[in-house]
Amino acid sequence: MKPLALREQDLAVLRRTFQRFPCVREVRVFGSRATGGAGRASDIDLAISAPDATAHEWLELTEALEEAPIIYEVDVVRPERTQNPRLLEKIAREGVAIYSETIAR
């Protein structure tokens, strides 16, 4: 597998953001940043597993990601709420874990 097309400083910012939200269980990067096909302007596709998150917690998390000091736009998917089997398959196939509650705590 190719290395993630993300700067270490951006990964660190993302991980610190996820640590602020105990409802986040795991985060995977998928899409072009995970497969090595990212261009300079490519967004970051994140699959964020947070099955116990309330609507308020999810809103706060997505706002925190929007405000995070990183140079990329972030596109978020919540796997446990997704009805698209092809998208879930893509996440399973391409996804690279960048955060896990068991590692962070």
CA–CA gap between residue 28 and residue 34 (Å, rounded): 9
Sign of CA dihedral 45, 50, 51, 54: negative
What's this model's pTM, rounded to 2 decimal places?
0.91
CA 9 to chain centre: 15
Domain 25-100, CATH homologous superfamily name and number: Beta Polymerase, domain 2 (3.30.460.10)
Q: What's the pLDDT at 5?
A: 87
Select from 98, 103, 90, 79 the least CA-distant residue to 27. Answer: 98
Select from 6, 1, 3 the least CA-distant residue to 74. Answer: 6
Q: What are the DSSP E strand ranges found in 23-95?
A: 26-30, 44-49, 74-77
Spatial contact of 98 and 16, defined as CB atoms under 8 Å apart: no
Q: What's the pLDDT at 102?
A: 75
Q: What is the CA radius of gyration of the chain?
A: 13
Q: What's the pLDDT at 93?
A: 95
Q: In tens digits, what is the pLDDT along the chain, a chain of 105 residues?
A: 557 889 999 999 999 999 999 999 999 999 999 998 998 889 999 999 999 999 999 999 999 999 999 989 999 999 999 999 999 999 999 999 999 987 654
Domain range annotation of the chain: 25-100
